[in-house]
Amino acid sequence: MNCCNNEHKTEDNLISSLRKLVGRSEIYGSRPSLTIDVCSERQVQLMSEKEIQDLEEEQGRLVSGFREVIDLISTSQRLVVVHNSLNDFAFIHSKFLAPLPPTMNEFTSSLLSVYPHILDINHLMKEIGLFNKMTSR
């Protein structure tokens, strides 16, 4: 399907295709065929707008779904076990909770207000010296 810029050209293409069909000069396989140009400039714009709108709606559903997961974890008040998650929590905080605070103490306080029980395995291993023993072997 080809799209054209003006309706006059579409009419010319249709007439040309009809002449070829009647004259049996345009064949697809063993059957006569007809090529019809059905897109106008406006239809192309509408299709593009529809595709963009569909993509935006899909993105909105994904973000909304992720936000629901964050809220469920937060309201459950359960232990969140992570490994070296500072970057992950910074991203989640900036995209779904609030802009990142200017200091680390404010960030920690804000994060703990949403997720009061966080256990970072990497930090824990460093604290008890287990990380150093594992890497020195």
Residue 115, Cβ density class (10 Å: 0-12 exposed, 13-18 middle, ≥19 buried): buried
Beta strands in the chain (DSSP E): 27-28, 31-32, 80-82, 118-120
- Taking only the tens place, the pLDDT of each residue in 22-56 is 665 555 566 666 565 666 676 667 677 777 788 88
Instruction: Report the pLDDT averaged over residues 100-117.
Output: 91
Spatial separation of the C-alpha atoms in residues 78 and 80, rounded to whole Å: 6
What percent of the chain is predicted at pLDDT more than 70?
64
Mean pLDDT value of segment 52-77: 80
This prediction has a pTM of: 0.46
Say yes or no to pLDDT of 106 above 90: yes
Judged by DSSP in three states, 39 sits in strand
Residue 89's CB: how many other CB atoms inside 10 A?
19
